[in-house]
Each structure stands twice: as C-alpha cells, then as structure tokens.
Amino acid sequence: MSLVRPLKVLHCITDLPAHGAQRMLLKLIEGLDSSAFENHVVSLVPGGTLTQEFLEKGIPLCDLGMKRGVPTLSALLQLRKIIKEFQPDIIQGWLYHGNLVASLAALISGNKVPVVWNIRRALYGLGDDKWLTRNVIRAGAWLSWHPKLILHNAEVSVQQHVDFGYAEGKHAVISNCFRTDQFKPDAEARLNIRTELGIAADETLVGIVGRFHPQKDYRNFCQAAASVALQGAPVQFVMVGDNVVPENATIRMWLSDAFGDAASDYLKRFHMLGPRDDIPAIMASIDVYCSSSANEGFPNVVGEAMSCGVPCVVTDAGATGELVHGVGAVVARKDSKALSRALLDFVVKEPLERQSIGRSARERVLEHYSLEAIAQQYISCYRTLVAEQVS
C-alpha cells in the first residue's frame, strides 16, 4: 500500500453533543492536513448540537440511527458496510461505546485495519455511570485485546483501566489541545457578557462550564460557592451547560440548603444560563474558573479558561491537577470545604495578582497544548500503525 495517497481515518463516536470528546474530535480533524488525511465520522446516535458544525466544515459525517442506550445488530452491519466502502487505513473509536462498536464492526467485517480506542476519562469507579455504560466499560475490558492502541488523555487513566482489566502494553497518552486563537483575553466580550448579566466590570465573577452530570459534581460546586458567598465576599457566579438552568430543581435545592433562610437573597448571585454557543466570550468574562468534577479525563473547559488568561481552582480529577499545577489551585475531589477555601483565596486576591496568574496559565497552554503539537502526536501514532500494518 502506498502512503502517497491520503491516509483514510474512520472515526466512530457515540454521539455529537458539544461535549469535550466531540469538540476534541472536531479540533483534531481541523488539525490534520486534508491533503495527507481523509477523515470520515460515524456517530452511533443521530443528531447532536455539533452535527451542523461538522457539516459546515465539510467533514463527511453519517450516523447509524441507534437509539440512545439501545445497541442493535443492524447498526453494526451498517458500520461494517461503511468500513468495506470507505476502506480506512485506521479505525479510531471515541468514548467507551464508540470504541466497542468500532472493534465489533471491524471484527465482523474481516478487515485487518488497525483499530485505535480513545478513552476520555479516568476510572475512579462506576457508581456514577448508567447501567448500560457500566456494562459497556466491562465489555471494553473483555475486548481490549483487539485494538492495536488504546489512547487516553490522562496518565492516571492508564493504570486505572489496566487495574480494571484492560489489556496491558498497548496504552499511550495524548493530551487535549486548545484553540488559543479562539480562547483568548477579550475585553469587549468581557464587557458584553457582564452587561447581559447585570454584573459590574469590577465585580468578581466565578464561572463553571459543564453539563449537569454526576461526574461534574455540581453539588460540590454549589456547596463551595455558597460558602464563599456566605463569608461576605463580593462575588457572583455564572454556570453554563446542558440542564444547568434556573428550573433545575436539584441545583436550587442544593443552593437553598446551603443558604438556609437567606436563600432568596443569595440565589440572585447565581446566573444559570444553560447551554451556550459563545463559550469563548463566557470564559473571557470571568475572573476565576472553577472545576468541581469528581471524574475527568483532561478537561477542555479548564484549558480553555486558562487560554483566556483566567486562573483556575480545580479538583484533582484525571489530568486536571497536572494541567493547573503552579498556575492555579488544586484540591482533592469531593471536598467542598477545601474547594471553598481555594475559591475564596482567589476571589479576594487583588485583580492584578489574578491577572498575573492568568497570564502564566495562558503561557502554559500556548507552550504545551497547541493544536499543532497535539495533532502531530496523533499523526505519528497513525503513521506508525499503518507502517507496521504494511510491513
């Protein structure tokens, strides 16, 4: 097989909401030279907020029509047909479901093309996962003999998965990358978002971005944020993500419990915006970013905040601590008191000191996590696997 023609990469991903793994896939394809790589994306589930963006960028995309949580033989057979027609040089799975389906379809197609899995989270346990996801993770351990390579975006994830039963000796770590041209300090965006929310230019604003899911541990954030507010700090909070809205009864209950009789006064400081498509502007508007996650791989949103020059206070989930170490604050997972203390420390800092830390955070992203550098690591993996297949 000649390597003069573009390498064909078939990406198999669970779905296409605007979440971290899906955004990373989009960035990766943008970072791969289209004259050297031909990419095709298959989503197991139809729809998703990023679907249109993939199509607008001219990325070939189809779905298998699966219903969420309902794997089907017909979907596997459809993917087998796509494999036979596209004739990929690499099949790249994304997320547990996408990894599993990629391997199963490759096996039933009889195609010897190298399959690569991409695991996007740490594995502290399965307690926060749905029944199907727990069993897909277990099935992944059983089938992990099949992929030629298993990629992770956090070093801690490798040993956790090996301990869980995933095959040894075939793991590698490639961090996430960040679009520093899009995520950057932006005084105009800062003013516009604050005007929208009715927040003064000099008032401290703490932000968090992430879907409402147990892995993001919004309860931890609510308890820590409430503690900061109760100590008299002049601070407001902006919360962005799927189902992170004022109508979310669980979030309101957590905040009301934390504030007690004063809840009606303090709840005005919490701006729950739901999903937004202007995340760069949101990040540029805040003074401190908080990640309260119980489980992460390598969080895009933390790197994006850093890229905007925003200091971060985070839990040590996945690679988050490694990303922030020295240019922010890192506390233990599921410890709202420690998170509150660290948040308060940054809230009361002089603005110039926060800005200095934020500049250092952006410099770290520019130096270590550029799109070009991370895309080159994927390119190296793909070319090595194809060369081994040829030989």
Q: How many residues does the structure list for the chain?
A: 391
Chain centre to alpha carbon of residue 68: 20
Give, as one character, the DSSP assignment of residue 231. Answer: T
Give, as one character, the DSSP assignment of residue 15. Answer: -
Average pLDDT over residues 254-260: 93
Query: Does 267 share its domain with 379?
Result: no
- Alpha-carbon distance of 280 to 189, in angstroms, equals 8
Query: Does 203 share its domain with 343?
Result: yes
Partnered with residue 63 across adjacent β-strands are 43
In the structure encoding, which two tokens stand for residue 224, read together?
């820590």
Cα end-to-end distance, the chain, whole Å: 10
Give helix 20-31 / helix 300-307 axis angle, nearest 10°.
60
Query: Does 163 share its domain with 248?
Result: no
182 part of a folded domain: no
Q: How many CB atoms lie within 10 A of CB 5?
A: 10
pLDDT in tens, 16-61: 998 999 999 999 999 999 999 999 999 999 989 999 999 999 999 9
Residue 391 has what pLDDT?
A: 67
By CB neighbour count within 10 A (0-12 exposed, 13-18 middle, 19+ buried), where does 274 fall? middle
Going from the C-alpha of 86 to that of each of 7, 111, 303, the distances in angstroms are 11, 12, 35
Q: Supply the CATH number for residue 15's domain.
A: 3.40.50.2000
Residue 69 has what pLDDT?
A: 65
2 part of a folded domain: no
* Phi, psi dihedrals of residue 2, rounded to the nearest 5°: -80, 140
Query: Does 242 share its domain with 340?
Result: yes
What range does the domain containing 194 cover? 187-368
pLDDT in tens, 202-240: 899 999 999 999 999 999 999 999 999 999 888 999 999
Count structural domains, the chain.
Answer: 2
pLDDT in tens, 345-370: 999 999 999 999 999 999 999 999 99
Residue 16 has what pLDDT?
A: 96
- Alpha-carbon distance of 238 to 92, in angstroms, equals 36
> What is the value of pTM for the model shown?
0.88
- Alpha-carbon distance of 90 to 7, in angstroms, equals 8
Query: Does 152 share its domain with 232?
Result: no
**Measured CA angle at 358 (ends 312, 204), to 5 deg:** 70
pLDDT in tens, 123-134: 998 988 889 999
